[in-house]
Chains A and B, each alone.
Chain A
Amino acid sequence: MSSEEHKFSGESIAHIARIIDNINLGIWEYNTDTRQAKWSVGFYTALGYAPGEIECSHTNFFDHLLYYYDRQTFLKSTYHPRVGESPVAHIRLLTKQNGYQWFESTTQKHDTADGPVIYGVITNINELKLSQVRAAEANYKSAEIGRIAKLGSWEIDVATMALKFSDEMYEIFELHNRPTMSVEEAIGFVEPQYRPLITDSIDQAIKFCKPYDVELQFRTAKNNLIWVRSKGVPVLNNYGQCVTLRGVFQDIDSIKKKGIRLQSSINLLDDQNKRLQNFAYIVSHNLRSHAGNLKFMVKLFEDTNLKEDRTEIFSHIKTISDSLSATMGHLDEIVRIQSEITKERKLIDFETIFNNVASVLHTNIMSTGAEINTDFTDCPQIDYIPAYLESILQNLLTNAIKYKHPDRKPVINILTRKVGNEIYMTFEDNGIGIDMKRYGDQVFGMYKTFHQNSDSKGIGLFITRNQVEALGGSIQVDSTVNVGTKFTVKLV
Chain B
Amino acid sequence: MITENKIVTAGLIDDDEIFTYGFNKLTVIKGLFNQILNFSNGQEAIDYLLNPKNSHNLPDVLFVDINMPVMNGWEFNAAFEEIKSQLGKNITIYNISSSVDLDDIKRAKNCPVVTDYLLKPIDEAYLTDIFNSLQNPADVRRYN
Contact = CB atoms under 8 A, between A and B. Distances in A.
Is B truly associated with A? yes
Interface of A: 281, 285, 288-289, 292-293, 295-297, 299-300, 303-304, 309, 312-313, 316, 319-320, 447, 449-452, 456
A299 B19 CA distance: 12
A288 B98 contact: yes
Interface in B40-57: 40-41
23 contacts: A281-B101, A285-B67, A285-B99, A288-B99, A289-B120, A292-B121, A293-B18, A293-B19, A293-B120, A296-B18, A296-B26, A296-B122, A300-B26, A300-B29, A303-B26, A313-B25, A316-B22, A319-B18, A450-B69, A450-B70, A451-B70, A452-B70, A456-B69
B101 A289 contact: no
A303 B121 contact: no
Q: Indicate the member of A281, A289, A297 with the most B CB atoms within 10 Å.
A: A289
Nearest 8 A-B pairs (CB), nearest first?
Answer: A289-B98, A292-B121, A296-B121, A296-B22, A292-B120, A288-B98, A293-B18, A449-B69
B81 interface: no
A277 to B, nearest CB: 11
A296 B26 CA distance: 9
B23 to A, nearest CB: 8
Interface string B6-30: 0000000000101101100110010
A303 B27 CA distance: 12
Nearest to A450: B69
Interface of chain A, main secondary structure: helix
Contacts of A299: 121, 124
Query: Which residue, of A281, A293, A316, A320, has the highest number of chain B Cβ atoms within 10 A?
Result: A293
B2 interface: no
Given A288-B98, A289-B98, A316 B18 contact: yes
Nearest to B119: A292
A304 B24 CA distance: 13
B1 interface: no
Contacts of B25: 300, 304, 309, 313
Contacts of B122: 296
Interface residues of B, number: 21
Nearest to A287: B98
Contacts of A313: 25
B98 A285 contact: yes
B100 interface: yes
B121 A293 contact: yes
Contacts of B19: 289, 292-293, 296
Nearest to A439: B69
Contact of B21 (A285, A288, A304, A316): A316
Contact of B40 (A304, A450, A452): A452
B41 to A, nearest CB: 7
B29 A304 contact: yes
B69 to A, nearest CB: 5
B22 A300 contact: yes
B103 to A, nearest CB: 10
Interface in B100-117: 100-101
Contact of B29 (A296, A303, A452, A456): A303
A293 B22 contact: yes
A303 B69 CA distance: 31
B121 A295 contact: yes
Contacts of B29: 300, 303-304
Contacts of A295: 121
A308 B45 CA distance: 30
Nearest to A305: B29
A293 B26 contact: no
Contacts of B121: 292-293, 295-296, 299
Contact of B100 (A288, A312, A319, A450): A288
Contacts of A456: 69
Contacts of A447: 67
